[in-house]
Chains A and B, each alone.
Chain A
Amino acid sequence: MNHRRLMVWLPLALAVLLAAGFTVALTKPQNNLAIMTNQAVLLDLPIPPFALAEAAAEGVDGSPHYDQIRGLADGDLVAGSSGLALVNFFASWCAPCRIEHPFLMRLARDASVPLYGIAYRDTGIKAAAYLVDAGNPFAQVGLDPDGDAALGFGITGMPETFLIDADGRIRFRVQGPVSGPQFDQLVTIIDQLRQEAG
């Protein structure tokens, strides 16, 4: 092949090669997940320390629902018989949280994985009313009115759910609502880890 023909075809060949590379990288399913979420980040790390207020701390006592939110600290998390617990960030103002709520209620029926709730940037009154209205799947709930606990968990949006083992390490996280395929995936992973723990 002479030099001039090479000059014509080489850039074209390079462009095709590059396009092929991009196509492969972009359509790889696990790659997609890694780009769109930061799933791998925080995995197997211990949960950050936090101490969250109870609803009564807002000083508006008398509401019948205040007992729904009794405060939550990292030391309060107790793994169920499965050796696991779930921490769920939610808010009364968050629409996807309402979508995932029935799925959380289903998880709560399996008492071996207790759920703990963190009400992100919410007031005690609103968060408590939300839990009374939609049902309360949580063993314990705390308020994170300034979003400080959320930063410790690397939160980027509501809702987000963390699967914690008995050592207080994050074993899995779901960014966005736990519904549909995410729910099935979470249940599968809970079963896997439950068997691992024996």
Chain B
Amino acid sequence: MHHVSSLYRLLTSGLMIAMASALIITMVVTAAPTPSMAATIAPEDVLADPTHEARAQALSERLRCVVCANQSIADSEATLALDMQRLVRRRIAAGDSDQQILDDLIARYGDRILLNPPITTRTYLLWGLPVVFVLLVLAVLWARRQPVAGQAPLTPLAIDGWDSQAQHPDAAQAQDQGRDT
């Protein structure tokens, strides 16, 4: 029983560290805007004004292609995505602001038209949970940290509230296994 639970503890802490690192890597990687793989629109549709074209490209990378699997309209060659890219360019050329264009598309297609869901009461869990999870993992790691030299070691027995180590000989072994990793 005891070996099982110490192994379990090892596994869970290992798993938590792995998940936390995966999460952090994902957050870092996705935070940086992924450059569009290739321009998908026809050359004649490219806006003459380079700042306008840059805005159109940036907006297109934020908009979800509604018929593709998690692709932006900038990356997609689906007819609907190309139509939407032309719409974005037409409206930029007509002098509309980025926000006006986004607001109109959200009114017609809903929040899902945005690749990054906006923070609303429906999505605060989605955005908040990763942060909470990372903090939780840090808190666990802090609680299980190596004792600083000179400090009295914090034994599992002390947590469990047992009187002495002698009452439970396996505990010392568990402590060793836990700390070696």
Contacts and interface: CB of A to CB of B under 8 A. Distances in A.
A25 B116 CA distance: 22
A42 interface: yes
A4 B160 contact: yes
B79 interface: yes
A147 B83 contact: yes
A7 B8 contact: yes
Interface residues of B, number: 21
B41 interface: no
B5 A151 contact: no
Nearest to A45: B107
Contact of A38 (B79, B84, B109): B109
Interface in B104-118: 107-110, 112
B80 interface: yes
Interface size range on A against B:
20 to 34
Contact of B87 (A40, A148, A156): A148
Identify the interface centre among A8, A42, A151, A152: most chain B CB within 10 Å of its CB. Answer: A151
Contact of A156 (B9, B80, B107, B159): B80
B58 interface: no
A121 B83 CA distance: 11
Interface of A: 2-4, 7-8, 11, 38, 40-42, 45, 48, 121, 146-148, 150-157
16 contacts: A3-B159, A4-B156, A7-B8, A7-B9, A7-B12, A38-B109, A40-B110, A41-B108, A41-B109, A45-B107, A48-B108, A121-B79, A147-B80, A151-B87, A152-B108, A154-B110
